[in-house]
Amino acid sequence: MALFDKFNKLIQERATFIQTELSPFGTRIDEIYSPTEGRIGECRVILAGTNNYLGLTFDPTCLDAARQSLEHEGTGTTGSRMANGSYSGHIALEAELADFFQRRSVILFSTGYLANLGTIGTLTGPGDIVLLDADCHASIYDACKLSGAQIIRFRHNDAHDLERRMLRLGEQAKDALIIVEGIYSMLGDYAPLKEIAEIKRQLGGYLLVDEAHSVGVMGKHGRGLAEELNVESDVDIVLGTFSKTLGAIGGFAASHHPEFNLLRYASRPYIFTASPSPASIASVRAALQVMIDQPELRTRLWANARHLHKGLVDLGYCVGPQVSPVIPVLLESPEKGMFFWQKLIKHGVYVNLVLPPATPSGQALVRCSVSAAHTPEQIDRIIGAFAQLMAEPRKEAVSNAQGAT
Ligand code: PMP
C-alpha cells in the first residue's frame, strides 16, 4: 500500500465537509475578543467550547506576568528541561504546584498529552498491568501503547467491573496501575472515585487520576475530584494540564512517592522535547494564584453550569448524565451533529463538534463548555440558540458526514 493511500477515506470525508461554508476540520477563530467572545468568519460568537473554565486567558495579572517574562526571558527556552530548558520559573512552578497539591514531587511537561505519555509510559512497561476506564483520553491510551504494558479496560465509571477484573488478577492486582479521570472530557461525568479508592484499599494497586478537566473546577481549593470526594490520600499520582483552567500550555504530574522525582531522568517525553515557554510558565504561575485567591470564580462557574444544563434539559435535549462545566448535547447522527454545529455558529454560539469514532455507538455530540467568565445573559443566549434550533428544519444538514474532530 502506498504510503499516503491510507488517507483516501479521510480525504473523501474531508471533501464532504469542505464543500460547506463552515467546516469542523480546522475551524478558524478569526478574532478573540475575550475569554467568552470571538469571531468566526462573519459570525460574532459566544465561545462555549473552550475549556477556559475560570476564564483566565485574559486575566490582567496573568497577562502582565506573561508580558514581563517575554521582556526579560524571551520567546522560548529553545531546549529540553534536561538541557538548557529549566528556568527558575519552571522550578518555582513545580514547587508551587507541589505545595498546592500537597505532594512531595511535581514534574512539569510541555503539554498534558506529554505528561500522560511521560508518566504512564515510563512507570509501566512490558510485564506491568494497567487497568483503565474505557472512556479515558487518547493520551492515556497512547501512553499505555507506548509502554507495552498489558491493558485491561473496565466499563466506563463502573467500579464493580473494575473490582471484578482486579479479583481475576489475584496477586498481580497489587502492582497494577489503575487510571481514571476526574471529569471525563466527552460526557462531562466524573469517576466514582470513592468506590475506586475503596477497591484499591481492599485489593491493592496504584491509582492515577487525570484531573485535566477538574483542577480549578472541583474541590474546596480546586485540587480536583479527589479533593471533592476526600480521597486524596488514596491517589498515588495526579495528572494535570495548563491548557484548560490555567489558560496556557503545559502539563504536570504530582506524587508523594519518594522515588517519583527520579522519573524525570528516565522519561523520554520529558527529556527529548523543549520545555514550555517562559511566558507560558509565568502566566500559569499567576493563574494558579488567581485560582487560589478567588474561589468565587468556582462558585460562578458552577452556577453557570447548572444554568446551562437546566436550560438544555428544559428544552428537551439529551445532555450528559451529571451536571458539570462540560455539557454534551447528544444527537442521533453525525448529520444532525454537523447541522447543529453549523447552525449554532450562525446563531452566534461556538461549541465543539464530536463525531464517531470519538463518540460511542455512532452518535454525535455538540459539547458545550462553560466558563466562570460567561455572564448569565450569555448563558441565556446559548440556551436561546439551542431553542431556535429545535424549531428549524434540517435542510442544511451535510450528508455522509463522518470522522472525528
Ligand atoms: N488528559 C485529558 C483528560 C484531556 O482531556 C486532555 C486534553 N483534552 C489532555 C489530557 C491533554 O492535555 P493537553 O491539551 O495539555 O495536551
Q: Are residues 74 and 130 part of one domain?
A: yes
Q: Do 311 and 286 reside in the same domain of the chain?
A: no
123 and 145 share one domain: yes
* Residue 342 resides in a domain: yes
CB 239 within 8 A of CB 210: yes
Residues 123 and 203 in one domain: yes
For the chain, how many structural domains are there in total?
Answer: 2
Residues 245 and 321 in one domain: no
281 and 299 co-located in one domain: no
In this predicted model, what pLDDT tens digit does every residue of 344-402 receive, in sequence order?
999 999 999 998 877 766 789 999 999 999 999 999 999 999 999 988 765 444 333 33
Determine whether 213 is an active site residue: yes
Residue numbers of the domain that contains 378: 8-41+295-391
Range 239-254 burial, b when 16+ CB lie within 10 A, else e:
bbbbbbbbbbbbbbbb
ipTM of the complex: 0.99
User: For 2-60, how does the pLDDT look when each residue is reduced to its tens digit (9 = 90+)?
Assistant: 888 888 877 777 676 655 666 666 789 999 999 999 999 999 999 999 999 999 999 99
Q: Is the pTM of this model over 0.90?
A: yes
Domain boundary among 267, 293, 319: 293
For residues 264 and 301, state if they share a domain: no
Assess whether 244 carries a catalytic annotation: yes
Q: Indicate if 183 and 200 belong to the same structural domain.
A: yes
Average pLDDT, the chain: 93
Ligand 1 probe mutation, 184, 185, 326, most atoms within 8 A of CB: 185
C-alpha separations of 359 from 42, 134, 334, 337 in Å: 30, 12, 10, 11
Q: What is the CATH classification number for the domain harbouring 328?
A: 3.90.1150.10
Query: Does 181 share its domain with 274?
Result: yes
210 in ligand 1 pocket by Cβ < 6 Å? yes
Same domain, 90 and 155: yes
Distance 105 CA to ligand 1 centre (A): 21
Please list the rounded mean pLDDT of every run of 10 residues in the chain (405 residues).
83 67 76 98 96 98 98 98 97 98 98 98 97 96 97 97 98 97 96 98 98 98 98 98 98 97 97 98 98 98 98 96 96 90 96 84 89 98 96 51 31
What pLDDT is stored for residue 402 in this prediction? 31
How many Cβ atoms are within 10 Å of 150's Cβ, its own excluded?
A: 16
